Amino acid sequence: MILLILVLLALVGMPLFAVIAIGALSGYWQAGLDPALAAMEFARIGEMPVLVALPLFTFAGVLLAHSEAPRRLVELTRSALGWLPGGLAVIALVLCALMTAFTGASGITVVALGSLLLPALMHDGYPERFSLGMVTAGSSLGVLFAPSLPLILYAVVAQQVAPRSGIGVDDLFLAGLLPGLLMLALMAGYAVWVRRGAAPSQARRRPLGAVLRDNLWELPLPFVVLGGIYSGWLLVVEAAVVTAAWVLISLLLIRREIPLSRLPGIVTEAMVLVAAILVVLGMSMASTNVMIDAGVPQRLFEWIEPKIDSRLVFLLMVNVLLLVAGMLLDIFAALVILAPLIIPVALAFGVDPVHLGVIFLANLQIGYCTPPVGINLFLASHRFERDILTVWRATLPFLGLLLIALLVITGWPALSLALPGLRG
């Protein structure tokens, strides 16, 4: 009965954190516990050092999106690979992945890079439908690349649900690299195939040396931050500090592209996004503890086990569930609601929690471009002045490629676990 009421409240538009909070409080009440314990669970998020990385990475990404950095990077792709048929599309996908990884929100990538990339791709000879679909679907690619906010959030939830599993943010950063590159390679290969036999772009390009000098401050950042994380020289929080400081100094003091008067508004924009994530996370932690104490994951496993005879079948069912969830929920909401339920059951089936995390995010990444709630569809429709159905049809070939990659990721755990295994 309570579950039905919560679903109805969500459908009528009650904020998600409030729905989760009501569920948590009702769980405490039914268990005869003081509801004040829910507030104590919420306060525990302040004890997680890794969450310091969330506002820092988000601030750096939003600051980059408000600067001239996207324009300079697009110009760099023209100069570096404009001679290669399909080169602009390949580098455009890489740029989208990097922007989403650093901002933590694919919607920012659609808005910040999409308006630059769409006309550039069409000017380069790509069909409008292809260009529209590539920009919309490609903006979701960075979810599996460090320092993606969903990666960090999944690690935090997994540590709370299964503290003995030993899962760490660094492990997830490494685990997402090869699956993310697989998705990127499939989409890039399709882009090159579409332009097969076409003559190189005749558009005038600036000398590469001059464009490299223009991007002098942005180009080292991914190598310094990601190289530091993957090599073990930087912890995630340290990498977040380096990223925020690098971007702030380069854009505010050296390039002077962001006036000091705009900084409070940019900080507010970034922190509103972070606050929304933390409020939902805090309420979900309270709800998760109630479910664990009530034995909900164990009962779920006991119900599922007789019906499923293999780990692979279980993972395929998880894929279906997450794809449906991605159609209805934001990626952060889906993580904090479903991960506490699925992780304990997956562990009982012998699924590695790191591999499960990559599967989780690969599924929910596809949800960015699936109706009825796919945020990329709405933003692309508004930004490019096309109806949502047109945008969705344009993304279908790319969604097909992402689904193929998802099946490979699901059935081949070594793709996700190879790099964390080398790290030891």
Distances (CA, A) of 30 to 24, 25, 26, 307, 403: 10, 9, 6, 30, 41
Distances (CA, A) of 294 to 103, 289, 290: 37, 8, 6
Q: Does residue 66 sit in helix, strand or coil?
A: coil
Task: Give the per-residue pLDDT at 402.
Answer: 92
| CB proximity list for 348: less than 8 A, separation 6 or greater | 301, 305
The distance of Cα 228 from the centroid of its chain, to the nearest Å, equals 20
Taking the C-alpha atoms of residue 107 and residue 136, their distance in angstroms, rounded to an integer, is 9
Helices first, then strands: H and E counts in the chain:
23, 0
Nearest C-alpha neighbor of 244 from the set 230, 265, 216, 263: 263
Is the distance from CB of 67 to CB of 216 less than 8 angstroms? no
H/E run at residue 232: none
Structure tokens at 230: 């993957």
Q: For the whole prediction, is pTM greater than 0.75?
A: yes
Task: Give the per-residue pLDDT at 209.
Answer: 74
Is the distance from CB of 394 to CB of 328 less than 8 angstroms? no
Q: Does residue 307 sit in helix, strand or coil?
A: helix
Is the distance from CB of 318 to CB of 54 less than 8 angstroms? no
Domain ranges of the chain: 22-423
Is the distance from CB of 28 to CB of 290 less than 8 angstroms? yes
Q: Nearest 10 degrees: CA dihedral of 108, 110, 115, 118? A: 160
Residue 351 backbone zone (phi > 0: left; psi -120 to 50: alpha; other: beta): beta
Taking the C-alpha atoms of residue 41 and residue 119, their distance in angstroms, rounded to an integer, is 48
Taking the C-alpha atoms of residue 103 and residue 97, their distance in angstroms, rounded to an integer, is 10
Classify the C-alpha dihedral 308-311-312-316 as positive or negative. Answer: positive
Furthest-apart CA pair in the chain: how many Å? 73
Q: Give ∠ CA 90-199-137 in degrees, rounded to 5.
A: 25
Task: Give the per-residue pLDDT at 183.
Answer: 92
Mean pLDDT of successive 10-residue segments in the chain (424 residues)? 62 65 72 69 67 79 78 73 71 82 70 73 80 85 83 83 74 89 91 72 66 78 76 78 87 84 86 76 69 64 71 87 78 79 85 91 85 73 78 88 93 89 70
What is the number of alpha carbons within 13 Å of residue 45 lying toward its C-beta? 22
Classify the C-alpha dihedral 385-60-331-364 as positive or negative. Answer: positive
Nearest C-alpha neighbor of 97 from the set 59, 45, 143, 54: 143
Taking the C-alpha atoms of residue 154 and residue 171, their distance in angstroms, rounded to an integer, is 12
| CB proximity list for 303: less than 8 A, separation 6 or greater | none
Task: Give the per-residue pLDDT at 90.
Answer: 84
Is the distance from CB of 331 to CB of 368 less than 8 angstroms? yes
Q: Nearest 10 degrees: CA dihedral of 15, 4, 362, 144? A: 30
Nearest C-alpha neighbor of 357 from the set 87, 93, 152, 202: 152
